[in-house]
Amino acid sequence: MEFTQSTKGDILIVDDTLDNLRLLSAMLDEQGYEVRSVTNGSIALIGIQAQPPDLILLDINMPGMTGYEVCQRLKSNPQTQEIPVIFISALNEVFDKVKAFSVGGVDFIHKPFQIEEVLARIEHQLKLCRLQLQLQEQNRRLQQTEADLRRSLEQERALNQRIEEMAALEERNRIARDIHDSLGHSLVALNVQMETALTLWQVDLERSRSFLVEAKKLGSEALQAVRESVSAIRSDPLHGQLLEGAIVNLAEEFYHLTDILPDCQIDLSQPLSDSVNHVVYRIIQEGLTNIYKHAKATSVKIKIQTAVTGLSLTLQDNGQGFQSDQAVAGYGLQGMQERTATVGGQLEIVSKPGAGCQIVVNFPRENHGK
């Protein structure tokens, strides 16, 4: 069923009385409808099948096949069952309204015809059809939009999974480099201590023992480094915690090691994605480790601020500092830079000897916000 721009609707009149056909045809044609007419039900079914109209005016009492039978056949055919049928009946004819509606009729008009009534009932049904077609089209568009959205979500999910896999691989590469830098250094020093202890074993037992004690300390540090590296390889560095809770745990661990409780100012009222959260956690974890090992600080501050534009992180200590414009081995600074870059952030390290160290990182929301 389609409505063209040139006509108000395509109407088929089925009536065995020629006068009725001529009267209705002239009446509707004058109002701008496209009108066809036939005199019996059999021909009507053939014409309807070939070219479905927008509405059918159907006489009830016709020879051969009644209007009830014609309507039943139309409603049993999926291609024609949606076409509205208005029955035509003379006032003096027996008209079963219940049967008319039960076989699929939507309305009825009586002879002699009142033009205003005929036009009102026809236009009412055509308007309902137009609304139904609009709803069907809107539903089709919604279904298409939903299908497109699902495809987009699947593509985004696959892309995110790929990004996570690549990020995990990069993270493992960084960890491998950290192991090589820190653990390798400890193992070389351990080996030197052991060789010296063996050399002095026969000539100076006390000095040999002191070298063994130092070797044990280096071994313990190497073991701790291995444990930290294995923990870092886990796919979820937060271990299922929220970022704020995980940072509090890092601060408490740092306090147990140093007796320094970091001053934490954390606002995560507008959180970002998990990938950004993981990077924030790693940077704080690495930064606190550096402060513990190298800074000799007495004060540490952690500040996280979220806004509509993104997230900013500041990690600051009052320790001995270093020359930030020069490469410093063992601090994991390159790993911090690489982690930040993977999520589109920017990292700045400000430090001078004797002036502490400040790490400032900014993550934009437009690239990684939820």
Is 368 inside a domain boundary?
A: yes
What is the span of the domain harbouring residue 49? 10-113
pLDDT category of residue 370 using cuts at 50, 70 and 90? very low
In the prediction, which pLDDT does 369 show? 40
pLDDT category of residue 5 using cuts at 50, 70 and 90? very low
Contact 355, 316 (CB under 8 A): no
In the prediction, which pLDDT does 149 show? 84
Q: Tell me the mean pLDDT in the region 263-281.
A: 89
Give yes or no for residue 342 having a pLDDT over 70.
yes
Say which amino acid occupies 113: F
Where do the DSSP E strands lie in the chain?
10-14, 34-38, 55-59, 85-90, 107-111, 263-267, 300-307, 310-317, 346-351, 357-364
CA distance 53 to 47: 9
Joined tokens for residue 338: 């690489």
186 versus 98: which is more confidently predicted? 98
Is 231 inside a domain boundary?
A: no
CA distance 227 to 221: 10
CA distance 331 to 211: 26
Is 30 inside a domain boundary?
A: yes
Residue 138: how many other CB atoms lie within 10 Å: 10
Distance of CA 238 to the CA centre of its chain: 23
Give yes or no for residue 152 having a pLDDT over 90.
no
**Tally of domains in the chain:** 2
CATH of the domain at 300: 3.30.565.10
Is 322 inside a domain boundary?
A: yes
Chosen domain end from 113, 146, 176? 113
For the stretch 11-45, pLDDT in tens is 999 999 898 899 999 999 999 999 999 999 999 99
For the stretch 277-318, pLDDT in tens is 889 998 998 899 889 888 999 999 999 999 999 999 999 999
Contact 298, 261 (CB under 8 A): no
Tokens 């990684």 locate to 368
Chosen domain end from 113, 142, 175? 113
Residue 225 three-state SS: helix
Give yes or no for residue 94 having a pLDDT over 90.
no
For the stretch 53-75, pLDDT in tens is 999 999 998 888 999 999 999 99
Q: Is 58 exposed, middle or buried (0-12, 13-18, 19+ CB in 10 A)?
A: buried
Chosen domain end from 59, 83, 113? 113
Is 235 inside a domain boundary?
A: no
Determine which of 169-183, 210-224, 244-258, 274-288 has the lowest per-residue pLDDT on average. Answer: 169-183
Contact 59, 51 (CB under 8 A): no
Is 233 inside a domain boundary?
A: no
Is 148 inside a domain boundary?
A: no
In the prediction, which pLDDT does 176 show? 66
Contact 13, 48 (CB under 8 A): no
Q: What percentage of residues in the chain have a pLDDT greater than 70?
A: 83
Determine which of 115-124, 196-205, 267-276 has the lowest per-residue pLDDT on average. Answer: 196-205
Q: Which residues pair with 307 in a beta bridge?
A: 310
| Overall pTM > 0.75 | no
DSSP category for residue 299: -
CATH of the domain at 63: 3.40.50.2300
